[in-house]
Chain A
């Protein structure tokens, strides 16, 4: 089981890193990155994301996140999360983009993310926290290819850009041989910019539901007997785009369960804004178990392409079941966000 999990993670990471190299130095990339980067479901259940109120929203086909909170721990010990769509791995697909727009069931399946994550246990360096997560995006009105306002326009823009970049060869005295690949850049920045700009000021909703499982693998061995502190989380997240002054309203209802903990429900609200160089937000979270409010301000600063620094300042009464400073804490992490497909 351990080897299977780790092998799967390594293969996915290697595939991501390999494919990413072909897609580097691209401008259009940042628009899907900026458009929505929900916290990895598995990171969410590990409670290592500074934000408690996570986004509902568009899914990336394959995402890898590296995470380090070395500023607090003085240890690099990066956490790794890989998110992917099981729909694709199982051979799912669409007839065309019209079907993607019209078939809500298939779109939900396609936008369902499975997530694996690991990070070294903070109190026992020989143990590893592992998590599995599943996030189902039920609806996202800012999905460029399911929104009537943008589907035809961006499809045509991308297609036209592809056609303009294409160049058929002429072989005097012959017929061109069939050749596929290798991949080449196109210049789709304009198409994405136009669609992004069209949607960014239009109100809309996104909703997603999630399930997560986490455990501490004693001595980093993933076997039933060595799994401790098993916990489960369920959550429902709803985002309202452009709720106030261009900021999005995020809400989350989340329950946490496990043999070693009391059932805990939280209800959280956040105002968050996103742009090309930084994301920021403020959140308030009510804990029905402790009857306490947590609150914080979060900043995500994009340092360089794909690397961002997330810092959260505020009151958070517990993290991962461990009571923290009661009033004012600073949480931060460095996040490397990779995705290839």
Chain B
């Protein structure tokens, strides 16, 4: 099911936040591309800190973003004894969360240990409307 995020063309920049819980660590690659052609207009990377979050403010203006796709791949590993958790991608504009349907939230189990040099990948995306 395609995921959509409704933003307002004149409500300021769009912020992307990566969140992971249960003391896991995530790092992600994001690409913003034209829906029909696949032309990539912006790329950025995020990695969570000790609070499990990381944020990026998209440089493309909201009016340009409409009709474009945000694609991500998130790699997650477990640095301590935990091995499960939830990783989320949240989109906000001017402090308001974009209610994506379905929610970009992934429940991870059997997350490999970082010390074993392994990670579990999560792929997903959404369309800005």
Query: In the complex, A94 Cα to B120 Cα: how many Å?
Result: 19
Known A23-B117, A26-B118, A178-B124; judge A162-B77 contact (CB<8 A): yes
- Is A341 in contact with B78, judged by CB distance below 8 angstroms? yes
Closest to B71 in A: A168
- Is B117 in contact with A27, judged by CB distance below 8 angstroms? yes
Chosen A-B contacts, 18 in total, with CB atoms closer than 8 Å, are A23-B117, A26-B118, A28-B114, A93-B21, A93-B82, A95-B21, A95-B22, A158-B77, A159-B25, A159-B27, A159-B47, A162-B75, A162-B77, A163-B46, A170-B33, A176-B72, A192-B115, A341-B116
Contacts of A97 in B (CB 8 A): 23, 25, 50-52, 79-80
Query: In the complex, A95 Cα to B108 Cα: how many Å?
Result: 15
> Pick the contact of A186 from B30, B36, B75, B124 — CB < 8 Å?
B75
Known A110-B80, A163-B47; judge A29-B116 contact (CB<8 A): yes
Query: In the complex, A189 Cα to B23 Cα: how many Å?
Result: 20
**Residue A325 interfacial (CB < 8 Å):** no
- Is A172 in contact with B110, judged by CB distance below 8 angstroms? no
Chain B min CB distance to A134 (Å): 15
**Residue B99 interfacial (CB < 8 Å):** no
Chain B min CB distance to A230 (Å): 31
Known A61-B113, A110-B81; judge A183-B25 contact (CB<8 A): no
Closest 7 CB pairs of A and B: A162-B27, A159-B47, A172-B38, A163-B27, A32-B115, A176-B125, A26-B117
Query: In the complex, A95 Cα to B77 Cα: how many Å?
Result: 15
Chain B min CB distance to A148 (Å): 11
**Beyond known contacts A23-B118, A168-B43, A340-B113: 19 more, CB 8 A cutoff:** A27-B117, A61-B80, A87-B81, A88-B82, A88-B83, A93-B21, A97-B79, A98-B50, A158-B25, A158-B79, A162-B76, A167-B29, A170-B33, A170-B38, A175-B3, A176-B72, A178-B124, A181-B121, A340-B116
- Is B27 in contact with A29, judged by CB distance below 8 angstroms? no
Query: In the complex, A88 Cα to B51 Cα: how many Å?
Result: 20
Contacts of A96 in B (CB 8 A): 21-23, 50-52
**Residue A49 interfacial (CB < 8 Å):** no
Contacts of B76 in A (CB 8 A): 162
- Is A176 in contact with B124, judged by CB distance below 8 angstroms? yes
- Is A160 in contact with B49, judged by CB distance below 8 angstroms? no
Contacts of B40 in A (CB 8 A): 170
Within 8 A of A (CB), among B31-78: 31, 33, 35-38, 40, 43, 45-52, 54, 69, 71-78
Contacts of B108 in A (CB 8 A): 180
- Is B29 in contact with A168, judged by CB distance below 8 angstroms? yes
Known A88-B83, A158-B79, A173-B38; judge A184-B47 contact (CB<8 A): no
Query: In the complex, A183 Cα to B114 Cα: how many Å?
Result: 11
**Residue A11 interfacial (CB < 8 Å):** no
> Pick the contact of A152 from B43, B47, B50 — CB < 8 Å?
B50
Closest to B102 in A: A178
Closest to B125 in A: A176
- Is A185 in contact with B117, judged by CB distance below 8 angstroms? yes
**Residue B91 interfacial (CB < 8 Å):** no
Known A156-B49, A163-B29; judge A180-B75 contact (CB<8 A): no
> Pick the contact of A61 from B2, B45, B51, B81 — CB < 8 Å?
B81
Query: In the complex, A167 Cα to B72 Cα: how many Å?
Result: 7
Contacts of B114 in A (CB 8 A): 28, 158, 186, 188, 191-192
Chain B min CB distance to A64 (Å): 14
Query: In the complex, A171 Cα to B126 Cα: how many Å?
Result: 11
Query: In the complex, A163 Cα to B76 Cα: how many Å?
Result: 9
- Is A100 in contact with B23, judged by CB distance below 8 angstroms? yes
- Is B75 in contact with A184, judged by CB distance below 8 angstroms? yes
Known A61-B81, A95-B21, A170-B33; judge A31-B27 contact (CB<8 A): no
- Is A31 in contact with B36, judged by CB distance below 8 angstroms? no
**Residue A205 interfacial (CB < 8 Å):** no
Chain B min CB distance to A297 (Å): 30
Query: In the complex, A21 Cα to B79 Cα: how many Å?
Result: 19
Query: In the complex, A87 Cα to B22 Cα: how many Å?
Result: 13
